Amino acid sequence: MISESKFYKILRYVVLIAACVFVIIPVMPLVFMAFKTGVEYTTTSVLTPPENWFNMYNFKYAIRVGNLGKALLNTTIILVISLTIQTIFTTMVSYVLHRFDFAGKKLVHILFTLTMFIPVVTTQTVVFQIIYRMGLVNKMLSVILLYSGVNIIGIYIMLNQLNSIPKDLDESALIDGASYLRIYWGIILPLLKPACTTLVIINGIGYYNDFYIPNLYLRKDVQTFTVALYKFFGNTATPFEIVAAAIFLGIIPIMIAFIFLQKYIYYGLAGAIKS
Amino acid sequence: MVRTKGTRILIFSFLVIPVIHLLVFSYIPIVSNVFLSFTDYNGVTTPNWVGIRNYKRLFTDPQYIKLFKNCMWYMIVAIPQLIFAFVLAIFVNGKFRGINFFKGVLIVPYLLNGVIVSTIFIIFFNNSGTFNSLLRFSGLGGLAQQWLHNLRLVNPAIASISIWRYYGLNFIMFFSALQAIPTELFEAASIDGSTKWQEIRYISIPSILHILFINVLLSISGSIQVFEIPYIMLNGSNGTVTPVIQIQQSAFSENRVGFAAALSILVFIIVVIAVSIQKVFDKRWTLYD
C-alpha cells in the first residue's frame, strides 16, 4: 500500500464515524424506550434518554406476556436439529460429489446448483399444500423439515475444503482395509470441521432471523422467537415501551453471537457470496 | 471410479435423502406452480383450466401493476445503497486504528431480523418519531409529517430502510473483493509515484467493477422479493403491497392459489433473468481467481 496522505486519513475517520452515526441513530431511541416507564414514554421525546437505566419492568413484562422464554427454546430446538441434519447431509453430498465418479453425478450437481434460481417465496403455494397434507402445519417439524435441506452454498463451502484434503489420505486408509463409510466418518468428517463451522454460523444466523417460513407454518401456539416478537404488533393493547423492551431482548442473542464469531461471520459471508 | 457394489450403495445412500428433499420442496413445487398458474385452483377442490386469465389480470389490473411499481422503489434505493457501501469499503480497506471496531459496527444492521428492523423504523418514521424529531431539531420542522400514512411518501420511505438494512452485505462483498486485489499492483503503482486517489481510481475501482455488477443484479432480484418490512410494519396497507405479500394474501387468505401461482411464476422468471445475467457476466468479468 502506498502511504496515505494526512488528508485521506482524516477523511477516512470523518466518513466512518458518520457511517456509525447513521447506523446507531435509528437504534438509539429503541434502546432508550426499552428502559422508560409508561409515563416517560408519553411525555418525553424519543431522543431523550431514560431517567433510570436500571428500570427492568418492561423486560419482565415482555418476557411474561410474549412467552419469550418458550419461544427462544423453540427456536433453539429448531436450530439445533435442522442445522445438525443439514450439515451432516451437506458433508455427505459433497463427499460423494468430490471423491467419486458415477452415472448421474453431473445431473445431481446441476439439480443442486439450479436451486439458486428458485426463491423460497415462489414455491410456498405448493409447499404449503405438501406440508399441510403431511399434517405438519403448526408443528415445529414443518420448519425443521424445510430448514434441513442441503443448499448449494453449503456444498460449495464443503467442496472448497475437500480440495485441500489430499486423496492419498483416503487411499492409504482404503489399503489398510477401511470402508468408504469409515473413511467418511473417521477421516473426512473431522477434517471438514472448519467448513461445517462456517456453514452452521451462516445458516444459523439466517434461520434465527428468518420470519417468512415460521410465520407461515407456525401460526398458533408454537412460535419461534422472531414470530413471538412479531405477535407484539398484532396486539395493540401492548404498550409500545414493552414492545421496545421485547425487541431489545431480540437483539441481544445476535449481538452475543456476533461478538464471539465476528471473524467467522466476515469470512463466511464473503465466502458464501463468492461461491 | 466406482469399483464395487458397496461403493454404489454408499453413493446412493448418501445422496438419496437430500435429493428427494430437493425434488419435493423445490422442483416439484415450481413445476406444479407452472401448471396451477393456468387454473383457478383454490387449495381444496379440483382445479379448472382457465388459460392465461391469471396472467392477463396481473398485466392489466392496476391493483396488480402497482405491485411491481412498488418494487421499483426498492430498486431505486439500491443505487445510494451501493454507492454508500462502495465508499465505505474503499475507506475501510487499509491499515488504521479502530478498523475492527468500524468493521463490527457497520455490519450490525445486516444481522438484525425483519421484526427488529421494522420496530426500529416504526419508531423512526412515527409522527413523534426519530426522523421528525431530528427534522424539528435542525429547523426543518416544516418537512415533518406522517411518513407511514402519506400515500405518496410511504413507499419511498419504507424502501429507504433497505439502505440501512442491507448496505452491510454489499459492503462485505466490496471489502472482500478489495482485499483480494494482489498487493503487487499497489506496490508497482507506488514505485511509479502514484497518489492514493490514483490508486483508488485506476486499481481499486476497476478491480471490483464486476462485484458492483453482481450487487446490482442481487439488488434487482432482492427488490422483487421484498416482503418483511412492508408486511411487518404495515401489513401491506397504505398501498405498500409487494408481489410476495400479494402471493401470501392470495394463496393463504383468499384461497386464490391459482392466481398466487401465476404471480409466483412471474417473480420466478424475473429472478431467473437477473441471476442468469449475473452468472454469465460473473464468468467473463472475473479478473482474479
| Tens-digit pLDDT profile for residues A11-25 | 999 999 999 999 999
Please indicate, yes or no, whether residues A46 and A170 belong to a single structural domain of this protein. no
State how far the alpha carbon of A71 is from the alpha carbons of A51, A184, B109, in Å.
31, 36, 23
pLDDT of residue A271: 64
Specify if A81 maps to a domain. yes
Q: Which of A125, A133, A183, A210 would best serve as a mutation to test chain B binding (most B beta carbons within 10 A)?
A: A125
pLDDT of residue B288: 42
Specify if A1 maps to a domain. no
| Domain around A222 | 67-238+257-274
Contact with chain A for residue B119, Cβ under 8 A: yes
Kindly determine whether residue B21 and residue A149, on different chains, have CB atoms separated by under 8 Å. yes
pLDDT of residue B284: 63
Q: Which of B128, B130, B186 sits opposite A25 (nearest CB)?
A: B130
Contact with chain A for residue B92, Cβ under 8 A: yes
Please indicate, yes or no, whether residues A218 and A124 belong to a single structural domain of this protein. yes
Specify if A208 maps to a domain. yes
Residues 6+ apart with CB under 8 A from B112: A209, A251, A254, B120, B165
Average pLDDT, chain A: 90
| pLDDT tens track for B227-273 | 999 999 999 889 999 999 999 999 999 999 999 999 999 999 999 99
Kindly determine whether residue A2 and residue B1, on different chains, have CB atoms separated by under 8 Å. no
Contact with chain B for residue A121, Cβ under 8 A: yes
- Contact by Cβ (8 Å): B41, B47: yes
User: Which has the minimum average pLDDT: A95-104, A169-178, A266-275?
Assistant: A266-275
CA distance B91 to B106: 12
Number of Cβ within 10 Å of residue B13's Cβ equals 12
CA distance B206 to B119: 39
Q: How far is B59 from chain A (nearest CA, A)?
A: 18
CA distance B192 to A113: 45
Kindly determine whether residue B33 and residue A122, on different chains, have CB atoms separated by under 8 Å. yes
> What is the radius of gyration, based on Cα positions, of chain B?
24
Contact with chain A for residue B105, Cβ under 8 A: yes
Contact with chain A for residue B237, Cβ under 8 A: no
Kindly determine whether residue A1 and residue B95, on different chains, have CB atoms separated by under 8 Å. yes
| pLDDT tens track for A117-172 | 899 999 999 999 999 999 999 999 999 999 999 999 899 989 989 999 999 988 89
Q: Which of A47, A180, A212 sits opposite B7 (nearest CB)?
A: A180
> With a cut of 70, which residues of chain B have pLDDT below it?
1-3, 282-289
Longest dimension (CA), chain A: 78
All 3 cell numbers of residue B145?
A: 409529517
Considering its fold, how many domains does chain A have in total? 2
CA distance B108 to A109: 34
ipTM of the complex: 0.89
Residues 6+ apart with CB under 8 A from B155: B70, B73, B239, B240
Please indicate, yes or no, whether residues A20 and A140 belong to a single structural domain of this protein. no
pLDDT of residue B36: 96
Q: Which of B2, B133, B173 sits opposite A100 (nearest CB)?
A: B2
Among residues B186, B218, B32, B281, the alpha carbon closest in space to that of A122 is found at B32
Kindly determine whether residue B33 and residue A125, on different chains, have CB atoms separated by under 8 Å. yes
State how far the alpha carbon of A218 is from the alpha carbons of A58, B124, B139, in Å.
26, 29, 47
Q: Which of A8, A30, A270 sits opposite B196 (nearest CB)?
A: A8
Among residues B29, B86, B95, B283, the alpha carbon closest in space to that of A2 is found at B95
| pLDDT tens track for A172-230 | 998 888 889 999 999 999 999 999 998 998 899 899 999 999 999 998 878 899 999 99
DSSP string, B38-72: TB---SSSPP-B-TTHHHHHHHH-HHHHHHHHHHH
Q: Tally DSSP H helices, then E strands, for chain B.
A: 15, 0
Specify if A127 maps to a domain. yes
For residue A75, the domain's CATH number is 1.10.3720.10
DSSP string, B253-280: TS--HHHHHHHHHHHHHHHHHHHHHHHH
CA distance B122 to A12: 32
Q: Which residue has the cell 416482503?
A: B227
| pTM, two decimal places | 0.89
Contacts 24+ apart (CB under 8 A), B145-153: B148/B122, B148/B233, B148/B234, B148/B238, B149/B238, B151/B238, B151/B239
> pLDDT at residue A237 above 90?
no
Please indicate, yes or no, whether residues A120 and A37 belong to a single structural domain of this protein. no
Q: How far is A212 from chain B (nearest CA, A)?
A: 7
Query: What are the domain boundaries of chain B?
Result: 60-285
Kindly determine whether residue B129 and residue A46, on different chains, have CB atoms separated by under 8 Å. yes
Please indicate, yes or no, whether residues A162 and A103 belong to a single structural domain of this protein. yes
Alpha carbon A144 to chain centroid distance? 13
Among residues B88, B108, B117, the alpha carbon closest in space to that of B226 is found at B117
Q: Domain spanning B60-285 has what CATH number?
A: 1.10.3720.10
Please indicate, yes or no, whether residues A126 and A12 belong to a single structural domain of this protein. no
Specify if A153 maps to a domain. yes
**For residue A2, what pLDDT band results from cuts at 50, 70 and 90?**
low
Among residues B107, B285, B229, the alpha carbon closest in space to that of A212 is found at B229
Q: Which of residues 44-83 of A touch B (CB under 8 A)?
A: 45-47
Q: Which of residues 209-228 of A touch B (CB under 8 A)?
A: 209-212, 216, 226
Please indicate, yes or no, whether residues A103 and A146 belong to a single structural domain of this protein. yes
Instruction: Find, in chain B, the residue whose alpha carbon is nearest to that of A246.
Output: B116
**Residue A227 buriedness (CB in 10 A; 0-12 / 13-18 / 19+):** buried
> pLDDT at residue A3 above 80?
no
Kindly determine whether residue A205 and residue B175, on different chains, have CB atoms separated by under 8 Å. no
Specify if A263 maps to a domain. yes
Q: Which of residues 24-53 of B touch A (CB under 8 A)?
A: 24-30, 32-33, 36, 43
Q: Where are the alpha helices (DSSP H) in A118-165?
A: 124-133, 140-147, 152-163
**For residue A274, what pLDDT band results from cuts at 50, 70 and 90?**
low
Contact with chain B for residue A123, Cβ under 8 A: yes
Specify if A170 maps to a domain. yes
pLDDT of residue A14: 96
Residues 6+ apart with CB under 8 A from B238: B148, B149, B151, B154
> pLDDT at residue A257 above 90?
no
Q: Which of A116, A117, A233 sits opposite B232 (nearest CB)?
A: A233
Chain B positions touching A233 (Cβ under 8 A) are 115, 118, 232
CA distance B134 to A227: 31
Contact with chain A for residue B22, Cβ under 8 A: yes
Specify if A187 maps to a domain. yes
Q: Tally DSSP H helices, then E strands, for chain A.
A: 15, 0
| Count of CB pairs separated by less than 8 Å, A with B | 256
